[in-house]
Chain A
């Protein structure tokens, strides 16, 4: 049975690669140039330069979970997900394997600082006999860190062209462009060749090597037994890498430098927690104080004071202000008034700020160090330190974070992380609204909110750890060198993600307001409010019209939360609404991603459990706080 991953790649509507790894790409015009390499070596940056398209670039492993694809001189450039080697250990490796099996030319991007790690993958591709050119990236950084690399000797030992580049600065790109088409197969290691030759009548050399290395999926395709020599070949390859590195790398200066020392401080609890606290405080000052108060006050005033009156006066010139259409377009839930004001005046500045902060954390290499620092704490909730990355990203966008859970080592961890993201991590848009709503109720409610959310996440994690079958997966990650994030990349990334966010949110927001407006205009809303009264009024002790908030919350949570600003409620009631809404699954998009990542059955179960828990906790919190605050 053929169980290779199936994929279709198109560029500008034209099919480029299709089918499984075995039949991939027979219909392609032009050569297939594949950018491959370890995670975090600069493939995306190089891809952006060569194709002129923009792909997210960060300083942690696994940004490219799906492949990117673009045109270059009539040929096709495909950026493969970053992997440390080829086999079928996880989905990224399977995708990369299939892309490389179909490649005409591989541009192997390697990080000058990590030759001994990156060359391992390089030698595997060389052993497969694929024409290759090496882009030796971050050579500027290597020089700064006191590393000298003998490029001519490296070319000679590997037998393929090597070009020294610094992709983010655009250095060496012209030479690389010239050399791409001089790619050739390198000097393969003699050891596996004999075995490969015996299999060439059944499959090509690339596949033969992977079968010898024990790739179960490929072996199954050809009906042969997977090889058992993986460890022996890997060991020999590792040995050869070590020899090459010993010959070509010269350390000029062994001083660790300030970056390395700072990197160490970030890892140790004594210095690491204060540094983390300082970072979070700075983030709070930027997002929670400067953006959420000063900037949003200003943009909100502009929208309320100039934009909305302008729209209303324009519309009342065309139609009667008492009509149904006017109510829908510019009434309390007006598509042209409320939607635009919330998106542009309230959400956009905050979302931009949060993505800006996350981009800096990613690009600097601080993220994996936070993971190491918090590893111990996260083992308590059934995760390891690596889960910090999706959990932190969740504060930006839960949808995106759910996709990032793929970097986690085991299915059990992915399950726990997705559940916690769905239940207890509010996304940037929600944080924005929550800050705005609770800021009016005083610091006590803010503190209560944080404590409740934290407590709920900890309890849920502990229970999942206790009762989910399977064993915890220990941390094993690399710490990339600390570097000063590039201003351009950070801004580009923050802007790109925020734009994407608003673009995606706008139609859903508009649809939501439209629906609510129509319901309102025809009186359906009152019916629904009455139907939901047992939950809202009796269980959560809230006014009846809160129901529209929950109804809207189904579509997009922050939209529902935003409507709270318009309702007259007691501080405690506002708090309960915020808490309950935070606990339900953020938006339709994230629910869809959860279904996609976890499958329909598990996705539906997660969604239902989260939903029931949210209202259960909301009701319990109401009673608890009513007693406590009385």
Chain B
């Protein structure tokens, strides 16, 4: 499953982030592969907002569709 298909409120584990630059940027934001995050909001046709602890991150739709996740 990709991140753009996640429902609001769902708990998910990030399993793969495709490109290295994004991966490095995401690790610094606190989200790395294997991390469990909550889907806080899905803006229709827009970005997906995920949160870990108090940290909220908005991820553009095109990027979200490239990130592999699994529900947990």
Contacts and interface: CB of A to CB of B under 8 A. Distances in A.
Interface in A335-394: 368, 371-373, 375-376, 379, 384-385
In the complex, the 4 A-B pairs of residues with the closest C-beta atoms, listed nearest first:
A475-B60, A474-B63, A474-B60, A84-B28
Contact of A238 (B32, B46, B47, B58): B32
Nearest to A120: B28
Contact of A476 (B32, B54, B59): B59
**Secondary structure dominating the interface of A:** helix
B66 to A, nearest CB: 8
A264 interface: yes
Contacts, number: 117
A479 B57 contact: yes
Given A120-B28, A238-B32, A475 B53 contact: no
Contacts of B53: 114, 116, 245, 249
Interface string B34-64: 0000001101111101001111111111110
A108 B29 CA distance: 17
A120 B27 contact: yes
B55 A478 contact: yes
B43 A267 contact: yes
Contacts of B62: 379, 472, 474
A179 interface: no
B40 to A, nearest CB: 7
B71 interface: no
A113 interface: yes
B55 A475 contact: no
Interface string A447-477: 0000000000000000000000000101111
A114 B41 CA distance: 19
Given A231-B23, A267-B49, A371-B58, A117 B43 contact: no
Interface of B: 20-30, 32, 40-41, 43-47, 49, 52-63
Contacts of A267: 41, 43, 49, 58
A238 B45 contact: no
B57 A269 contact: no
A474 B49 CA distance: 13
Given A84-B28, A269-B44, A475-B47, A114 B59 contact: no
Contact of A264 (B24, B41, B63): B41
A355 B62 CA distance: 34
Interface residues of A, number: 42
Interface in A86-142: 89, 113-114, 116-117, 120-121
B40 A264 contact: yes
Contacts of A31: none
15 contacts: A89-B21, A114-B30, A116-B52, A120-B28, A120-B30, A121-B28, A234-B24, A371-B58, A375-B58, A375-B61, A379-B61, A474-B63, A475-B58, A476-B59, A479-B49
Interface centre among B43, B44, B59, B60 (most CB of A within 10 A): B60
Nearest to A117: B30
Nearest to A124: B28
A412 interface: no
Nearest to B44: A269
B43 A376 contact: yes
Nearest to A472: B62
Interface centre among B23, B26, B52, B55 (most CB of A within 10 A): B55
A481 interface: yes
B35 to A, nearest CB: 8
A230 B20 CA distance: 11
A300 to B, nearest CB: 44
Contact of B25 (A241, A368, A371, A476): A476
B57 to A, nearest CB: 5
Given A376-B46, A479-B49, A235 B55 contact: no
Contacts of B20: 231
Contact of B61 (A120, A234, A376): A376
Interface centre among B32, B53, B58 (most CB of A within 10 A): B58
A145 interface: yes
A372 B46 contact: yes
A476 B43 contact: no
Contact of A116 (B23, B30, B59): B30
Contacts of A475: 47, 58-60, 63
